[in-house]
Structure 1
Amino acid sequence: MNFNNEILNQFLLWSNPKPVWYESAYFYFAIKAVLERQTSGVDDKGVHKFSTYGLFQNYPNPFNSETIIQYNLPMDDQVKIEAIDLLGRVVKELYSGFQKSGEHKLSFHAEGLSGGIYFIRMLTPSFSDIKKMVYLK
């Protein structure tokens, strides 16, 4: 197969429940993939694999004035991290931009906010997640 706008001579396309064969068709598409480095087990010191996106529960939770937000990116990607209230309004944007793959941490300082329940939201072009956090003023 050649993906440079060439004819794909023959390939199998499937989706539930039956496979379908196509011949001599033009297709234009993009593939977003995550490549993982496989280790031998001999020297794995400092090797971290982040094969999926992940937003973790903030800690501490409940918190008084500051809490830590941790998340993983399996590839370099655009990401937005924001705190939202119970009505879905963004009360603070913690990060918005491009980041390298790996583990990331942010501090959320809640000064100027009323005590109560808030949510931390992570958005990328292909992933979103929300975690609940409790601010004790």
Structure 2
Amino acid sequence: IDLAAMGYNRDHELLPQVNLGVFYSQSRHLPICYELYDGSIVDKAHILEMMDLAEDLDMKLTVFVMDKGFLTKENLSFLKQHHIPFLMAFPNSQKLYRQWLLNQSKDLETFESYLGTLPSFGKSAPIQVDDMTFN
């Protein structure tokens, strides 16, 4: 694959890689389209390209799901300014997020937090990042 670039995967193996952006139909649970990207792109700098593609395809984003590689204050601000709902993993290595996760996990495994059909536990709680509040 021409777009492949050498890099380390999650298992720390040096292999040729590509990046894949996928849009899924929330109602049909099927992919709508995908886009291959260069394996050497930096996740956090790529969010605008994905949003441009969604706009070009006239897609209404119900929720944008991304990994912690996209977490920057600029990306959070962009998503907030454009009212784009999102789910993102927090890196537990960053002090702000680590403390928030520790505080939230204290009473997570309770009946009120059980998500039945998944089956798992979860809850929504506010977190302050600079002057922005997220749940």
TM-score bracket for the superposition, by shorter chain length: under 0.3
The structure with more radius of gyration: 1
Specify which structure has the higher proportion of strand: 1
Q: Give the TM-score normalised by the residue count of structure 1.
A: 0.26
Q: Name the structure with the higher helix share.
A: 2
Query: Normalising by the residue count of structure 2, what TM-score does the alignment of the two structures yield?
Result: 0.26
